[in-house]
Amino acid sequence: MAKQAEPFKTPLPRGWPGRVRSAVLHVISPAQFATNYTRSWAANCQVARVRLKAENHRLRPHVALLTEELRVKDARMKRVAAPNRPHYAPTERLAILELRAAHGWSGRQTADAFLVTAATIASWMKRLDEQRADALVQIREPVNKFPEFVRYAVQRLKTLCPMLGKVKNAQVLCRAGLHLSVTTVARILKEPPRPEPHTAAASTGRVVTAREPNHVWHIDFTAVSTGGGFWAPWLPCAVPQCWPFCWWLAVIIDHYSRRSMGFAVFPGRPRSSAVRAFIGKAIARANATPRHLICDKDSIFWCEAFKRWCRRKAIRPRYGAVGKHGSIAVVERFIRTMKDEATRRILIPPNRARFRAEVGSFFAWYNRCRPHTTLDGKTPDEVYFRLQPANRLPRIEPRRRWPRPSPCAKPVTLVAGQPGDRFAIHVDFLDARQHLPIVSLRRAA
C-alpha cells in the first residue's frame, strides 16, 4: 500500500510568538498590494458591471478604515474629562448641525457622535440665527477675501492708468498703502467691471558691481522723433536724423539706485566735447564723481579726448561689446521705459524748451513716484537718498476679519488703524500729464 503523503508544513522561526505584532504589520502590506492589483484589473475592465463591483469593493474597506480611525480618535477624547475638552469653533458648530441634518440624527445621536451633551446641541439650535459678531454659530468666511471696493480700486487704477501692468499696478498700490500680490491684481483685472461701492556693466574684464550711489553711472543717447520725422516714408523726412525731424537725448543713470542723474537735448548727433560738458554738469549737480562710467563704443566715447578727460576726473570708463545686445542693458532699459511711458504717448514738440519741459517732468516723476521692480517696489529717490520706502510704511487692511499676525503680500508691513477700514483711491497727475500718475489712498470717513 502506497504511503500517504504528509501535508506541507510551513517552518516557523524560533520564538515566533514574540514576533506576532510585527508579523501582522508585514502581512498587511503585501495583502494590500495584492488587493489593489486585483482591483486595478477590474477597474479597467470593459464590462460596466465589473467596474461598478470593483468600485464597491474599494469603497467598503475605505469606509471601514475611516470608521476605525474615528473610533481610535474618539477613544482618546473620551479619556479626557468633559470640562477639559476643547470647545468647538463657531464654524465647526454649524458644520456639526449640517451633518445632523444630512444624517437625520436626533439630538442624542449627534451628541454621542461628537462627544457633547444633548443640551449643548439644543442650545446651538436655539441660537442658530444670531447675527452678532460673537454669535455661537457662524458661517465660515474666507479670511483672505477682499471687499468689493478693493476690486473697484484696482480696476479704477487700470482705467485711469492703462499703461500700468499687473506688476506695476501692485507696486503702485503697495506704495500707497494697499498690499496686494501680483496674482491677486491679475485675477481682479480679468474680472468684469463692477459698479462703484460705497546687471552686468561691462562685457570684458572683471564685473563692476555698484556698492553705493554714485559708484557706477551709465550714459547713452537716443533719437526721439518729433511730429514731422521718422514716421514719414518719403524724402526728405525719412533720411535726416536731426532737428526738426527728431531730438537727440543724452541720459545718465546711477546703477545702484536706477536714478536719472541728468539729461541733455541736442538738435543733432552730439559731439564728444558736448557730451563731456553734459557729464561735467551732472557731476557738479550731484556733487559726486562716479568711479566707473559705463558706455558703448560709439566714436563719442571711444576717442582719446574722452579717455583723457576721464583720467583727469579719476573716472574709469567701461565699454560694452560692439553689436552685443544687453552690454549696456541698464541705460537701454531706461530709454525704452522713457519712450514707452512718455515720448510715445505725447506729440513731441519741435520747440526745444517745450521738449525739455516734457522730458524733465517724466524724469522727475520717474525718480520720485515710479516704483522700480529691481528695487523691490522702491523709487530711485528713496534708494539714492536713503529715504523710508513708502511700501514699508504701515498699510491699509480692508479685510475685516484678517488676523494681524498673518503675513500679507510682500513686503510685509504692519497694519495702520483697524482691519476693515474703507478707503477711496485718488489719482493726481504730475504737471497735468495723464501719463504721469501719482496714486494715493484716502481713508473713507
Q: How many residues does the chain have?
A: 445
What is the distance of C-alpha 327 from the center of its chain? 28
pLDDT in tens, 352-390: 999 999 999 999 999 999 999 899 999 999 999 999 999
What pLDDT is recorded for position 428?
A: 92
What does pLDDT average to in each consecutive run of 10 residues of the chain (445 residues)? 58 66 68 70 73 80 83 85 84 85 87 88 85 75 77 87 88 90 90 60 59 93 77 60 84 95 93 94 94 91 93 92 70 92 84 92 94 92 94 89 80 86 90 91 80
* Amino acid letter, residue 215: H
What is the spatial distance between Cα 28 and Cα 280, in angstroms, rounded to a whole number? 83
Domain boundaries, the chain: 80-126, 148-198+378-443, 216-325
Say whether the peptide bond before residue 213 is cis (omega within 30 degrees of 0).
Answer: no
* Amino acid letter, residue 385: F
User: Residue 252: beta bridge partners?
Assistant: 219, 262
Can you read off the three cell numbers belonging to residue 167?
A: 506688476
What is the spatial distance between Cα 110 and Cα 99, in angstroms, rounded to a whole number? 9
The answer to whether 202 touches 330, Cβ cutoff 8 Å, is: no
Please give the C-alpha separations between residue 393 and each of 179, 269, 341, 426, in angstroms, as whole numbers: 11, 45, 27, 18
Neighbours of 53 (CB within 10 A): 15
The dihedrals phi and psi of 150, each to the nearest 5 degrees, come to -70, -45
Map residue 245 onto helix, strand or coil: coil
Alpha helices (H) in 319-402, listed in sequence order: 329-338, 352-368, 380-384
Q: E-strand spans in 226-311?
A: 246-254, 260-266, 292-295
What pLDDT is recorded for position 241?
A: 78
Neighbours of 130 (CB within 10 A): 13
Rounded to 5°, angle at Cα 347 from 345 and 350: 145
Query: Does pTM top 0.95 for this prediction?
Result: no
pLDDT in tens, 186-221: 999 988 876 554 444 444 456 678 889 999 999 999
423-429 and 216-225 beta bridge pairing: unpaired
Can you read off the three cell numbers belonging to residue 276?
A: 563731456
Buried b (16+ CB within 10 A) or exposed e, 107-127: beebbeebebeeebbeebeee
pLDDT in tens, 403-428: 877 878 888 888 888 888 888 899 99
What pLDDT is recorded for position 336?
A: 92
Please give the C-alpha separations between residue 332 and each of 102, 296, 315, 325, in angstroms, as whole numbers: 66, 11, 21, 10
What is the spatial distance between Cα 135 and Cα 127, in angstroms, rounded to a whole number? 8
Q: Which of 124, 213, 193 is nearest to 153 (CA)?
A: 193
What is the distance of C-alpha 69 from the center of its chain? 41
**CATH of segment(s) 216-325:** 3.30.420.10
Q: Which of 240, 266, 238, 257 is nearest to 359 (CA)?
A: 266
Q: Which of 319, 352, 358, 368 is nearest to 338 (CA)?
A: 358
Exposed / middle / buried, residue 21 (Cβ in 10 Å: 0-12, 13-18, 19+): exposed
User: Residue 395: beta bridge partners?
Assistant: 415
What is the spatial distance between Cα 403 and Cα 142, in angstroms, rounded to a whole number? 12
Please give the C-alpha separations between residue 185 and each of 56, 123, 284, 315, 376, in angstroms, as whole numbers: 46, 43, 43, 44, 17
